[in-house]
Amino acid sequence: MRAEQRWCGDQHLLLVIGDSVTLANVLRVIDLNHRLLESELAPLIVETVPTWCSILIHYDIDKTNPSQFSSALGTFLAGVVETETVTLESRLVTLPVLYGGAAGPDLEFVAQANDLSPEEAVRRLSTGTHFVGMISFIPGQANCMWLEPELVLSAPKYATPRTKTPEGTVGLGGSSIALYSVPSPGGFQMVGRMPVPTYSAYPVLPPFEESPILLRAGDRLRLRSVKREEYDDVAQAVREGRYRYDIEESVMTVAVGEEAMGGGAPQGS
Amino acid sequence: MELLRVLKPGLSTTIQDPGRRGCLELGIPTGGAADAYSHLLANAVVGNEPTAATLEMMLLGASFAMLREARIAVAGADMLFQVNGEEAAMGRAVDVHEGEVISFGKARAGCFGYLAVAGGFDGTIAIGSRSTYVPGRLGGHFGRALKKGDILSQLEEGRRADAGEAPRDLVAWPWQHDAIRFVRGPQAEYFSEAGYSSFTTEPYAVSTRSNRMAYRLEGPIPELVPIPRTSDTGSGPTDIIEDGNVVGAIQLAGGTEPICMGRDCPSTGAYAKIGCVITPDVSRMFQMQPGDTFRFQEVSVAEAFEISREMSAVIQGFSMW
């Protein structure tokens, strides 16, 4: 497999496998990241940050040095055979969302930008399957892309980002969905809000006993449309610790085709 | 064992250790002591492992009432460290007793001061670390900065080392910031050679809008190379497809503002990075106060690696007294 290596200081390498945000690229990233962490290089790796089309690798400078690691990585990549399909563990997680109104003040703008009624925009958001490509930027923020091309909505991001976005907000920017896990600045259009947390520093509900983060790269999401009454009921159940997430364990196999790119060792030394 | 009570919390005082590993892919930063070097030094002086938690104070120090006797040490920013109103030495093991007051003032040199106690501070462990990450309410003391009246505990001492003293030049090392060394990239193609030239010759100043998340810099904008824009990159001249962030990476936000990523920086970023500050100089970077000026100096990856190895050898040599 060909990929480009780029230096990031003295302990990190950026491995770039593509130059576009596509499902095929992010699936290759997830797959390559798994293989890397199961390879004989794993003991040299502190951790990785897989994103849309690159993987940041933190290597352990007490065990290796930059040129040694880079050349070992090159050897590893040369041995990676690109497959036509990628198979990965992919849970199907269904989350309730109240769309529009105060919960999603930008829904009408998004509908207009796509020449649709607000009802049709909600139908596309709530019936589509959203693939979690990466968890990034802030703790637990899931960044997703639609698996059904015919349902995709697009909207420009805010020209000037907001300073505050309420936690639980469902945002749309470009053609991706982001779930705001903690209150944060943001530039995505706010289309709805979830009454359930996707991040919790304390184990207030079962999934958080293992990790403060609900979602993982590779998960698929359904953002089911709920009415105000159900939103309030669910919020109450969350507060009382009674809420149970709708999570279905499964495995997914997707075709990724082939797409080679130039590359080699990082430039300079 | 209850160790001390907070009399004045200072500007932002938090429990820190070397940070948490393996959670960047969940969007949780590594975090940890802003000046990792001084954190290690303070720990070494009282015979602690590098992983022991210390108290980090920013710009304006805190004051504490001791609830029991303890051996402590201070490193990092010079914050007028006093015991019962008498100035005490930094980088040296100091024995303090129940009822005594230890206090810190405004930083005279540096930005982040570290207070270590033999055995280390106790605090909530979240994802393998006691480091406080305030935005995620994780670790340390209820995931927040200390408040007046908080009571902190210490862990049992392991071996008690002989009273140690760090040479003055080791204590003062992080305050020297005339040149901050970096390695070019990972998005070097966005910057012209003239851009790199001005970046490494003109002075930069630390902005007042700097914190543990990011150090914003004021100085000339390096000349850019126009790179074709796509709907995936975004329309700005330095917009890139979001990729992994490194502590010490220098982004050019919006094509105009250089920002050095701090310990609590977001796990990913979407602006081109002109370079990444080398590991030892990251500690020096964060010891600068708003208004301090410095120059960037380019080094190769091989040089950066050698410098990093030398610095960790210095610390390790000192810890094995």
User: What domains appear along chain A, each with residue ranges and CATH number?
Assistant: 4-82 (3.30.1360.40), 89-251 (2.40.100.10)
Nearest-CB residue to B27 (from A47, A58, A138): A138
| Cis amide leading into B222 (omega within 30) | no
Quickly state the pLDDT bin for B232 (edges 50, 70, 90).
Answer: confident
pLDDT tens per residue across span B33-69: 999 999 999 999 999 989 999 999 999 999 999 999 9
pLDDT digits (tens, 9 = 90+) for B168-207: 999 999 999 889 999 999 999 999 999 999 999 999 999 9
Asked if B137 is an interface residue toward chain A (Cβ–Cβ < 8 A), one would say yes
Describe chain B by its helix, strand, coil percentages, rounded to 5: 20, 35, 45
ipTM over 0.85: yes
A78/chain B closest Cα distance in angstroms: 22
Whether residue A51 and residue B21 make contact (CB cut-off 8 A), yes or no, is: no
Percentage of chain B beyond pLDDT 70 is: 97
B246–A6 C-beta distance less than 8 A: no
Contact B300 A174 (CB under 8 A): no
SS3 A118: helix
Q: How much is the CA Rg of chain A, to the nearest whole Å? A: 20
Whether residue A54 and residue B277 make contact (CB cut-off 8 A), yes or no, is no
User: What's the rounded Cα separation, in Å, for the pair B306 and B308?
Assistant: 5
- Point out the residues of chain A with pLDDT beneath 70: 257-269
- Give, in degrees to the nearest 5, the angle at Cα B274 between B269 and B279: 85
pLDDT band at B112 (very low <50, low <70, confident <90, very high): very high
Q: Does B277 touch chain A (CB under 8 A)?
A: yes
Nearest CA in chain A to B23: A47
Q: Where in chain B is the domain with CATH 2.40.100.10?
A: 176-303
Interface test with B, best of A8, A46, A55 (most B CBs within 10 A): A8
List B residues 47-86 in contact with A (Cβ-Cβ < 8 A). none
- Tens of pLDDT, residues A218-252: 999 999 999 999 999 999 999 999 999 999 999 98
Residue A123: C-alpha distances to residues A120, A224, A225, B279 (Å): 5, 9, 8, 50
Class of domain B176-303: mainly beta
Kindly state the helix (H) or strand (E) to which residue A68 belongs, with its residue range.
helix A66-78
Which of A55, A67, A213 lies nearest to residue B26, judging by beta carbons?
A213
The per-residue pLDDT for A266 is 53
Q: Distance of CA B79 to CAs A226, B114, B215, Å?
A: 55, 10, 21
pTM score > 0.90 for this model?
yes
Give the residues across from B153 on adjacent strands: B2
**What pLDDT was estimated at residue A71?**
97
